[in-house]
Amino acid sequence: MIPNNLNEWSFPLIEKLIQEGIFETDRLDFKEDIPHVNNNSGKEKLENSVCAFANTEGGFLIFGIKDDRAQEAHDRIIGIEPQKDFPREFGDKTVNIQPHVYYDFLNPPIKIPNKDSVIHIIKIPQSPERPHLTGRKEFYYRTNKGNMQMDYQQIKDSFLNEEQRRQKLRLLFIELVSNKEQAGSMIIEGDGNYSLITLDSQVLQTLLVDTYQTITKEEELIRLLITIREKIMIINNKTGIFYSQMSLPLLSKTDIVNEHNKFIKKVATGLIELIERALKILSDKFGLTDPFK
């Protein structure tokens, strides 16, 4: 019943959840409002929820709902004044979380019928940079009973998993550097000579799958990696055809070699440009550098 996407939320759905007495779950948390600047307890609870969702499976924060299950649904749905700069206030109240948690919000918010107020919905996905800690240096995870503080073993395991994710990114970076160098070696100038190099797309495919969760917010990077893989396959397919042609008992193979080199130069040059763009994103967003320099 709980949606997976922000645009699937609606007032009738929220009203139905409250009418049916749905409890807060491992993916859902009701909040009455953004805590006041002097409400330290409220700010701490908000930090706990944000970190807990980011450190576990992600979830939604629904703002504008009173936490009083004894009341009727229409009394619990009080909303928030539409003039409030809600996204900015939410960001201000969670600024001390480390590392910063990515979140998205429903824009525009949900208008409450017959009221001059709205419901704000924040989506916090599972974070590729987990674990996150609150401004009080505490780690939380989410269960169907609410936010729970991590114990030592959970924190340790989470950091080990983070290091494994980082290691996969490093391997992806190295594989791209290797493909860039090999693609450059395939560009042959002059008559009669040709490259015997082929590129490995399987390793890149495996690393793309292994790192997808970590790079899921970097849509441009994902598109680049998919295109790079496709161009590698094009080069390999053309090289296979070229080798077949060279094995035929033709009198002169000069034209075949020249045509092949011209094609490889064009595709390999484009491939190198794509790889350089992908490497820059990995460097800028994840701090990766070429270990061979």
* Residue with the two structure tokens 């015997």: 196
pTM of the model: 0.76
Average pLDDT, the chain: 91
pLDDT in tens, 52-86: 999 999 999 999 999 877 788 788 999 999 999 99
The predicted model gives 16-22 an average pLDDT of 86
| Secondary structure, 3-state, 148-160 | EECCHHHHHHHHH
- C-alpha of 139 from chain center: 21
Alpha-carbon distances of 194 from 160, 198, 252, 257, rounded to whole Å: 46, 12, 15, 7
pLDDT in tens, 231-279: 999 999 999 998 888 888 765 688 888 889 999 999 999 999 999 999 9
Nearest to 95 by CA among 29, 40, 43, 159: 43
- Residue 56 is predicted with a pLDDT of 95
Evaluate if residue 35 carries a pLDDT over 90. yes
Evaluate if residue 293 carries a pLDDT over 90. no
**Percent of the chain at pLDDT exceeding 70:** 98
CA angle 136, 137, 141 (to 5 degrees): 100
